Amino acid sequence: MILRDPVHGLIPFDTAEDEIVVRLLGTSQMQRLRRIRQLGVASLAFPGAEHTRFAHAIGSAHVMKRLITRLRDVEGNLPPHQRLGKEAAKEALAAALLHDVGHGPLSHLFEDALVGAPPHEEWSTRIILDGDSEVSRILAAEDPRLPARVAALVLGRHECAYLARAVSGTVDVDRCDYLLRDAHATGVPYGRYDLDWLLRSLTFGKTERSDEAPPLAIDGAKGIVSLESFILARLFMFQQVYFHKAARAAEWMIRAILSRAAELLREGVKLGDVPAAIASIVTHRGAPLGDYLELDDGVLFGAMHAWESSGDTILSDLTRRIRSRSLFKTLELYGMDEPARVAAFQTARDIAKRRGLSPQSYVGLDVATDTPFPDQDDPLTVVFPRGESRKPGDVSFLLGRLRGETVTRARLIFAPELRDDIRAAVAA
């Protein structure tokens, strides 16, 4: 199989080792990812951001294949049991492809919106381990132990530390693909970095015990520039794309819609076209796997369209606004500490209440955070020719300044008809 990809060019899965990827791509669980947008509702801010989790999964598997090739080039000094054999490579390729197979509609938004909804990692491992899923059957046909090993690797656990961090770490195949893919789809330059040089710079770090598999490392001072570029790309994408005010407002509105629908369902109100999985999550904080796999973006938007006719005025109003892209407005809370933000939020809620609008559904406080370089939480090191090993933040001035720092964007989100009153009150 050879695929054309707008980010990586030609993607070949054409060896015996890659055959596991080809078979997994044909499963209904993987095909479902074609119907789930990678960036949720970001297309309301960036019209080109219609790419899917399916494309991202393929890209992640491709990066893993390239990483495997690189690591095999530099594994000569490792004992045979720590090298990347065929079985470990299959595990890594399958984990890279399947790491997001459990995502719900609109990606991360869904699991954040419904209280009690399991995280997508839990759904992913359930799919991989469930003997009735096509994914699990294909893995088990290869090796009965493979489903459990792939599930563990998806969660970042493996006896080879470098494989675990390649799936879930500071420099992992997931981030390597989504930064480039999201930048391409949104049309921004911020997420671009030198993937070729970054992969070429990866090598094995040092371990204190000879029986311990080594972590990933950056090869010398020349490689540190590729890591700096990668970390900055992630920082800029969060600032300019993932934290974009229109996308965050739309996400908050959909959370408000799902929260309101859940509240009504718990009160016994009948709503049209409620997906079975959503009803189960609301009432039982979980759902049968088969019902969950029926969820995708189209199913969720179809339900919200039906709710436009709801007798509940809040639910019908919010769903109509989303479908017509009548998004809520935002007000940046620059320089405010947490008590000041809470006070501004309460002021906005009081204004909504005086105007006859539900404060819970028409006013929100959105605090988006990210730590672009949590250096101390990752064993990634920089290895120099004479054997010296140092943390990247100790080698790079730039990464040293970013180490452990958290980026925060705090905003009030509110219905447009409240804008003038809220801005005047908060600025006063």
Q: Which of 164, 160, 184 is nearest to 173 (CA)?
A: 164
Ordered DSSP codes for 56-92: HHHHHHHHHHHHHHHHHHS-TTS-GGGS--HHHHHHH
Please count the other Cβ atoms lying within 10 Å of the Cβ belonging to residue 407.
14
Average pLDDT over residues 396-400: 92
Tell me which H or E stretch contains 2.
strand 2-5
Query: Model pTM?
Result: 0.94
Q: What is the pLDDT of residues 143-186, one digit of tens each?
A: 999 999 999 999 988 888 888 889 988 899 999 999 999 999 99
Contacts of residue 69, defined as CB under 8 A and 6 or more positions apart, other chains included, come to none
Residue 324 Cα to chain centre, angstroms:
26
Q: Which of 215-224, 320-329, 344-353 has the lowest mean pLDDT?
A: 215-224
Q: Would the pLDDT of 135 be above 90?
A: yes
Alpha carbon distances (Å) from 84 to 141, 269, 428: 21, 56, 63
Q: Which amino acid is at 383?
A: V
Instruction: Say if CB 380 and CB 219 are below 8 A apart.
Output: no
Helix ranges, 143-288 (H): 146-154, 161-167, 173-186, 195-201, 220-237, 245-266, 276-284
CATH numbers and ranges of domains, the chain: 2-243 (1.10.3210.10), 245-324 (1.20.1250.30), 328-371+406-428 (3.30.70)
Alpha carbon distances (Å) from 385 to 221, 226, 388, 389: 10, 18, 7, 9
Please tell me whether residue 39 adopts helix, strand or coil conformation.
coil
Average pLDDT over residues 418-423: 96
Q: Would the pLDDT of 357 be above 90?
A: yes
